[in-house]
Amino acid sequence: NAGVTQTPKFQVLKTGQSMTLQCAQDMNHNSMYWYRQDPGMGLRLIYYSASEGTTDKGEVPNGYNVSRLNKREFSLRLESAAPSQTSVYFCASRDRGPVDTQYFGPGTRLTVL
Amino acid sequence: GEDVEQSLFLSVREGDSSVINCTYTDSSSTYLYWYKQEPGAGLQLLTYIFSNMDMKQDQRLTVLLNKKDKHLSLRIADTQTGDSAIYFCAERPQWGNKLVFGAGTILRVKS
């Protein structure tokens, strides 16, 4: 049981390049989330998927797209990277059991030059 | 609206107690959480409290909830160097699918 996994761990892009961040969970959770973490700003929600086949915008969706490929996988795409997207990206999935909270992946550290 | 605020930094000596504070605005929140983030890692759930509780104790951790003042605190007894991390407070509003996080408190433990 690996929990939430993310690839890659690190990435450097040039302005205008595109890339996809991958996330997978093996806990059979319905809901999945993408956050970005910037110093002093905590975690900000980019997009989430309440269930397979649905996606919704969070606080900071501009410049990103997502795909909920199946129940396990939720990817985040940057079509044309900008320096303002330099951040650490976390994927999470939600357990609606007694605690009803989220479990996080290890993060992807992205630098856009 | 929903907002969670925390102080940004706390420094304590090894063996002392640490108290990290948090205020939130959504009185309908059903759950409140503390997450820990160690350097280079993702967030891990440390503890949580239901909104109908005032206190929860779990080994060295004590969570206090004051619903009237919308104030949540995390006390770590006998703080160790391994407790050095960023601690995030989060609330789950009654409606909706998301958590609302504070900016995080950096805890530094000096030996």
Tokens of A30: 């319905």
User: How far is residue B25 from each of residues B14, B31, B53, B70, B97, measured CA to CA in Å?
Assistant: 33, 13, 17, 7, 17
> How far apart (Å, rounded) are the C-alpha atoms in residues B79 and B110?
10
Report the pLDDT value the prediction gives residue B26, as an integer from 0 to 100: 81
> Do the chains contact at A104 and B44, CB–CB below 8 Å?
yes
Q: 80-99 in A: which are within 8 Å (CB) of B?
A: 90, 92, 94, 99
Chain B contact for A100, CB < 8 A?
yes
List B18's β-bridge partners, or say none: B76
Chain A contact for B44, CB < 8 A?
yes
Q: What percent of chain B has pLDDT over 70?
A: 97
Chain B contact for A63, CB < 8 A?
no
Chain B contact for A31, CB < 8 A?
yes
Which of A44, A89, A102, A108 to probe by mutation at the B interface, max B CB count within 10 Å? A102
State how far Cα B22 lies from the chain centre: 7
Report the pLDDT value the prediction gives residue A48, as an integer from 0 to 100: 95
Element (H, E) at A103: strand A101-104
Residue A72 confidence class, pLDDT cut points 50, 70, 90: very high
Q: 70-109 in B: which are within 8 Å (CB) of A?
A: 88, 92, 97-99, 101-104
User: How far is residue B99 from each of residues A21, A108, B2, B68, B92, measured CA to CA in Å?
Assistant: 22, 20, 10, 21, 5
State how far Cα A32 lies from the chain centre: 8
pLDDT tens for residues B5-40? 998 899 999 999 999 999 998 878 788 999 999 988
Residue B1 confidence class, pLDDT cut points 50, 70, 90: low
Report the pLDDT value the prediction gives residue B2, as an integer from 0 to 100: 63
Chain A contact for B42, CB < 8 A?
yes
> Do the chains contact at B98 and A58, CB–CB below 8 Å?
yes
Phi and psi (nearest 5°) for A83?
-55, -30
Identify whether A8 is preceded by a cis peptide bond (ω within 30 of 0): yes
Across chain A, mean pLDDT equals 93
Report the pLDDT value the prediction gives residue B29, as an integer from 0 to 100: 77
> Do the chains contact at A58 and B42, CB–CB below 8 Å?
no
Strands of B71-76's sheet, edge to edge? B4-6, B18-24, B71-76, B61-66, B55-58
Is the pLDDT at A31 greater than 60, yes or no?
yes
